[in-house]
Amino acid sequence: MADAASSSRPRLSLRWKQPSVIPGFGITLGFALTYLSLIVLIPLAALLLRPVELGFGGFWAAISAPRVLASLKISFGCALIAAIINAFFGLMVAWVLVRYRFPMKRFVDALVDFPFALPTAVAGIALTGLYAPNGWLGQFLVPLGIKVAFTPLGIIVALTFIGLPFVVRTVQPVLQDLDPEFEDAAASLGATRGQAFLFVVLPSIAPALLTGFALAFARGVGEYGSVIFIAGNMPMVSEVAPLLIVTKLEQYDYAGAAAIAVVMLCASFLILLAVNRLQRRFSRHRERLT
Amino acid sequence: MSNSAVNPVRRNARGEPTWLRVLLIATSLGFIGFMLVLPLVSVFVEALAKGLTPYFAAIIDPDALSAIRLTLFVAAIAVPCNLVFGLCAAWAIAKFDFYGKSVLITLIDLPFSVSPVISGLIYVLLFGAHGWLGPTLDHYGIKIIFTTSGLVLATIFVTFPFIARELIPLMQEQGNEEEEAAISLGASGFQTFLRVTLPNVAWGLLYGVLLCNARAMGEFGAVSVVSGHIRGLTNTMPLHVEILYNEYDFVGAFAVASLLALLALVTLVVKSLLEWKFGDRLAAGIKH
Amino acid sequence: MTITLSDITKTFGNYQALRGIDLQIKKGEFLALLGPSGSGKTTLLRVLAGLDFPDEGRLIFDGSDVQHTSARERRVGFVFQHYALFRHMTVAENVAFGIKVRPRRERPSKAEISDRVSELLRLVQLEKFGNRYPTQLSGGQRQRIALARALAIEPKVLLLDEPFGALDAKVRKDLRRWLRQLHDEMGLTSIFVTHDQEEALELADQVAVMSEGRIEQIGTPDQVYHNPATPFVFEFLGHANRLSCVIEGDEVKIGDITVPVQNISTTRQIAGIAFVRPHDIALHHLAGAKTLPVRIRHMFTAGPGVRLELERQDTNGFLIADLSHEQVQKGAFAVGQAAAAELTLVSAFPKS
């Protein structure tokens, strides 16, 4: 199925696709596009167009209802805090895995992917079991006044669990490829380890750290399964936006549910865009130095 | 998601003081132990809290068994479909140059940035009782939402990127030369794909299938939205766990959950093995 | 098989890789496409194989237009620069590939395939390597397997893309000789691409020197070396001393001397550049009517001879001269001496 060339007519040099001796372009691209349209594009269109039936006024009313705003605040707020926690500890874990040697390191390294592989519902009930007042950890924490289960704090714990692999796995390869020369240079110029870390290492891994943070954040905002068990789900207090969507669906308020979903999608999109911009600025800085 | 596997630890004489190292290692291990190991262990402990008999009883309970069957069934359809898609998309993207390639790649990454609930929502909006196509299909007796078909669809959406994302960088890195050689030697497109390309991406394919399967069996949010939550009929294992838990049947819930946790562990082990032995033949092994 | 290319043009986006190539290749000929990177030689080879498609032009194999014949059906044996051996197949499976993918009607029996593979492995002197994998072979061995694999399909023409580019100097020399022998035995029309002029001159029956998508000159190695048609060809095929000159009639005036020139004749005076090969300079102590005044600035042993850097005393510039050890000793030449350089063979081209 190779593309045949014409004998002597001059051809436009601007082509949509370069002719290739390798066959199968039409069929594979066709299938992929059809699949994507059926599975992704058409259903997404249904989502994006649904709030239209509310009209602008209706749409605005739907998403500015106090309960909706509260749920969005809780989802985004808890996801942000969890992502920050993960950024800190994730960096530490990545550092330790890349730079140090200790027993069972490979086991720990493999374990980092665990939240990624575990079904969210299982994570949900396990965490709830731990932090409930009579749970393994809850029994100690509640008497101290720290209520984790059925409060926003529980949501944060669940989202920290979920987001941990994202930061570690994005930072790890970058740390690994980091040229030791730069830190050695800093040391030879008199910098302490702390200074070397702050001024040499951190800027180099900042884009990766930011990416990991953004991924953990994005994942946390949309998280459902691991959150609904531990959250308590009280409207205005510990109800996350995905749960509110489900509730509205059960009430057949399709438009309302779609409206919230659209807001969430837009917000995630904007976050990813902003992170992309920041990343590009970071790498531009580095390019100027090299 | 790459493993660091065996990486040479830099013996940096100007490294951190020992006490700091120990502190960092201890804190990290503590964090991992606290956040990851503890919940994992608790699943099994709670499942076996009342002994082995209630544990097995919970698993062979008819509703649990049908949930297991349904989970396997959904995965058995979703994974092969996504496999074909992954191969097609990777072939088109890796072997050819065309405008719009990056848009295609972005589209493939889409499910990763979408909440599972929204992944299910979009099908309800399409096929549900008040959806675009719902009433029309209902007229012909085709029901999608609240049936197995809806479960399959939602699962396909959530898991289709896995295989494609594994194959695309792998095939891009392997280049076109072997395929061109095969064609110059007289092989047809299909022969080239079967005899040359497929064996070269075999391990990456297995890896992608593994991840795709783990996610397909464990998906909760998307499936919850499109399922009718009818016990014994439209409940996958994760949904069944939810039902049991909400009925305060903790042993039952954790028993089924323990099976899913075992699946996760097996996935992790096989994944690590693949990364360790065939790291250079997986997308994760490609340095960017 | 005879091959005719007429007016082959190929553009990649804004980049013109081939500009109207005309080429005729005789049956059994061993042709070298010689040129620097970016000259279009690999693109031309791929066009011949059907791996790339020209925008314009005609391609004729044995009298029939093959443009609409796919690479699959053209029966060309292509040896890739990096071998492109199938990494997960054994050596024997690699070699047998082309035979095994034939349609069932044309496919020989398993035993016949096995025999043919053994025969080919013997031809490339790797009989015992049938069960090894490509990663277990050295570069030179992989090259020979790639060749065996290409020969297995009984091609009508053999195309080799920089076959020895990735190999050590010694391996390269051995394989060169071996390839030429193989060609002589088999009589297969062969075209190979190289940037190494020594290789092209040593192996080929005809050399096509290419630059920027055009063929500068086609001829026997002797012709392109001794009668280069353009400055590019002259300079590409060995070191060339460039001297400004004025061309008039059959002679050129360089500095104060006038010497005969062998490749050009003009009716009026034109400014030009004269080219002299290092070994076409004879060195004397005393100036003569046809010598340029020079001073010896540097001398070093270069293999079988001595290379001298001579600074021109009549104008700015250096000349590189190659003398034998004997000549240097007999003439007692030393660094710092004044001397006289005689140009024994000069080619000239108009300044463009």
Q: What is the pLDDT of residues A261-280, one digit of tens each?
A: 999 998 888 887 887 787 77
At B7 the pLDDT is 45
Contact A39 B28 (CB under 8 A): no
Per-residue pLDDT band at A283 (split at 50, 70, 90): low
Say which DSSP state C52 is in. S
Mean pLDDT of chain C, nearest integer = 90
Per-residue pLDDT averaged across A204-215, rounded? 88
Q: Does B169 lie in the same domain as B40?
A: no
| Neighbour subunits, B (≥3 Cβ pairs < 8 A) | A, C
Q: Distance (Å) from the C-alpha of residue B274 to the closest C-alpha of chain A?
A: 12
At A160 the pLDDT is 95
Per-residue pLDDT band at C86 (split at 50, 70, 90): very high
pLDDT over 70 percentage in chain A: 92
Q: What is the DSSP string of C92-119?
A: HHHHHHHHHTS-GGGPPPHHHHHHHHHH
The Cα C237–Cα C251 span in angstroms is 23
Q: Does B43 lie in the same domain as B97?
A: no
Q: Does B92 lie in the same domain as B38?
A: no
The Cα A11–Cα A19 span in angstroms is 12
Whole-model pTM: value is 0.83
Per-residue pLDDT averaged across A151-180, rounded? 91
Is residue C204 within 8 Å of C31, Cβ to Cβ? Answer: yes
Q: Does B126 lie in the same domain as B37?
A: no
Contact C53 A19 (CB under 8 A): yes
Q: Is residue B85 part of a domain?
A: yes
pLDDT tens sequence across B224-253: 999 877 777 789 999 999 999 999 999 999
Q: Does B16 lie in the same domain as B86?
A: no
At A3 the pLDDT is 39
CB atoms within 10 A of CB B77: 18
At A2 the pLDDT is 39
Q: Which of A1, A3, A7, A18 is the best mutation test for C, with the most CBs of C within 10 A?
A: A7
**Least confident interval from A161-165, A250-254, B209-213, C146-150:** A250-254
Per-residue pLDDT averaged across A47-56, rounded? 85
Give the type of residue at B68: I
- B–C interface: beta-carbon pairs under 8 A: 64
Contact B185 C153 (CB under 8 A): yes
Domain count, chain B: 2
Q: CATH no. for residue B198?
A: 1.10.3720.10
Q: Distance (Å) from the C-alpha of residue C303 to the closest C-alpha of chain B?
A: 39
Give ipTM to 2 decimals. 0.86
At B6 the pLDDT is 43
List CB contacts (< 8 A) between B185 and chain C: 97-98, 101, 149-150, 152-153
Q: Does B93 lie in the same domain as B8?
A: no
* Residue among C12, C54, C71 minimizing CB distance to A2: C71
The Cα B151–Cα B133 span in angstroms is 17
Is residue C251 within 8 Å of C261, Cβ to Cβ? Answer: yes
Compute the half-sphere exposure of residue B118: CA atoms within 13 Å on the CB side of its CA.
Answer: 27
The Cα A236–Cα B188 span in angstroms is 63
How many helical (H) and strand (E) elements, i.e. helices and strands, does chain C have? Answer: 9, 20
CATH number corresponding to A65-289: 1.10.3720.10
Q: Distance (Å) from the C-alpha of residue C83 to the closest C-alpha of chain B?
A: 9
Q: Does B148 lie in the same domain as B13?
A: no
Is residue C161 within 8 Å of C80, Cβ to Cβ? Answer: yes
Residue A14 confidence (pLDDT) above 80: no
Contact A4 C53 (CB under 8 A): yes
What are the φ/ψ torsions at residue B49 (nearest 5 degrees)? -60, -35
Per-residue pLDDT band at B14 (split at 50, 70, 90): low
- A–B interface: beta-carbon pairs under 8 A: 297
Hey, is A105 helix, strand or coil?
A: helix
Per-residue pLDDT band at B285 (split at 50, 70, 90): low
| Any B CB within 8 A of C87 CB | yes
Per-residue pLDDT band at A52 (split at 50, 70, 90): confident
pLDDT tens sequence across A88-131: 999 999 999 998 888 888 889 989 999 989 999 999 999 999 99
Per-residue pLDDT band at A4 (split at 50, 70, 90): very low
Q: Does B266 lie in the same domain as B185?
A: yes
Q: Which of A188, A224, A244, A254 is the best mutation test for B, with the most CBs of B within 10 A?
A: A224
CA dihedral (C138, C140, C146, C147) in degrees, to 10, reads: -150
Q: Is residue B288 part of a domain?
A: no
Q: Does B277 lie in the same domain as B202?
A: yes
Q: What is the DSSP string of A165-193?
A: HHHHHHHHHHHHH--HHHHHHHHHTT--H
The Cα C251–Cα C260 span in angstroms is 4
Residues of the domain holding B254 = 51-281
List CB contacts (< 8 A) between C154 and chain B: none
Q: Does B60 lie in the same domain as B35?
A: no
- A–C interface: beta-carbon pairs under 8 A: 38
Q: Which of the two residues, B129 and C47, has the higher pLDDT score?
A: C47
List CB contacts (< 8 A) between A19 and chain C: 53
At B25 the pLDDT is 92
* Residue among C53, C71, C72 minimizing CB distance to A5: C53
Q: Which of A39, A169, A217, A254 is the best mutation test for B, with the most CBs of B within 10 A?
A: A39
pLDDT tens sequence across C284-325: 988 888 889 999 999 999 888 999 999 998 888 899 999 999
Q: Does B118 lie in the same domain as B32?
A: no
Q: Is residue B12 part of a domain?
A: yes
User: Which of B9, B29, B47 delimits the end of a domain?
Assistant: B47
Q: Does B157 lie in the same domain as B76?
A: yes
pLDDT over 90 percentage in chain A: 40
